[in-house]
A and B are shown apart, each in its own frame.
Chain A
Amino acid sequence: MSDRSPYAYDSKVEGNIIFTQLDTAINWMRSNSLWPMPMGLACCAIELMAAGAARFDIARFGAEVMRFSPRQSDVMIVAGTVTYKMALAVKRIYEQMADPKWVIAMGACASSGGMYRSYAVLQGIDHLIPVDVYVSGCPPRPEALLDGLMRLQKKIMGESSFLEQKKELLASI
């Protein structure tokens, strides 16, 4: 193990013990069990399905449990064109998700409106909800979505939620 690693393994202690920080352990658990909320709105959803199927197998990254209930999901994958008619519904579903929660904007439409520069399409879901990872493509290949997912995992590994909670708690006392 390198000095920079958040984990440490001490061979002098008897086996199966790893020293780490609570934050790192929490982040490790969170990032390897991301349950997606598949917000499939257009053709990107087909690639999302491909990413979930056997050939690309999103289960390799612990994100195979597609939950169609916002209460049970961690990451919303906005896959497709967000029309103004759908926009507030997407926002509402995002707000129903329990913290901590993340958003992947999959494809050109969800990221920026894509080719729909028109009266009917929201020009990027980030106008309404915070986005963690943007995946380019029209639609993106499943590999691109998996890359986005891995980047999100990397981002989660850098979070310090427990430390911040502790600081907030101390400040409130």
Chain B
Amino acid sequence: MTHAQISDAINSRFGHAVRDRAEFRGELTLVLAPEALHQVCEFCRDELAFDLLLDISSIDHFEQEPRYELVHELYSLSHHLHLRLKSAAVGDDEPSARSVCDIWPTANWHEREIWDMMGIRFPGHPDLRRIIMWEGYPYHPLRKDFPLEGKFSDVPDVAFTEPAPLAGGPFVTAPVEGTTEVREPRARRAGDLPPDQTFIAEP
């Protein structure tokens, strides 16, 4: 089986739902309509032998519409092929997308992580709790509008958080040629001299 055959098979069945198709360095990516994602996933597993869900990740396109996007990475153990499915998570205030836990049980923890970090809900998930932060933590830290230093929160007897002092940061690595001493993370602002001219070697 080849990428072209996969693409054709999905197109003939869900042609209306495939919004874009890209092939780059031997990797096939299909952009799907959000409502078709679950059906396409089921089709991929049952008809195209994509028996392994490698990963689900999420993207926050801050200040763009639609804001949240999901990326499902599939792999077929029998055909040795990758397939990437992209689809938007509907709703900018309370984004959600249908869970694929019933198709690949491994989606369980991936979706919990996305709920925890990005705040995308998965209707149909059997146990959608936070997985990294604790229950009661009020934010979703991977969102673009969440500050790096964090925010105050307090869940008595469980955990609290405080904003971290950034002391001139955030500290960024300079994208220039040079030694690590030149490129190392420091507080930099627009208009600063290039780091290779400002760095003062310590004796």
Contact = CB atoms under 8 A, between A and B. Distances in A.
B165 A119 contact: no
Residues of A in contact with B, size category: 10 to 19
Interface string A120-159: 1101000000000000000000000000000000000000
Interface string A85-100: 1011000000000000
A113 interface: yes
Interface string B1-18: 000000000000000000
Interface string B140-171: 01000011111100000111111111110111
A contact face: mostly helix, strand, loop, or mixed: loop
B interface bracket (residues with beta carbon within 8 Å of A): 20 to 34
Counting chain B CB atoms within 10 Å of each CB, which of A87, A116, A118, A121 scores highest?
Answer: A118
Contacts of A117: 148-149, 164-167, 169-171
B134 interface: yes
B161 to A, nearest CB: 5
Contacts of B170: 117
Given A118-B148, A118-B149, A85 B134 contact: yes
Nearest to B158: A88
A80 to B, nearest CB: 17
A87 B148 contact: no
A9 interface: no
22 contacts: A84-B159, A84-B160, A85-B159, A87-B160, A88-B157, A88-B158, A88-B160, A117-B167, A117-B169, A117-B171, A118-B148, A118-B149, A118-B150, A119-B139, A119-B141, A119-B149, A119-B151, A119-B161, A120-B133, A120-B141, A120-B150, A123-B164
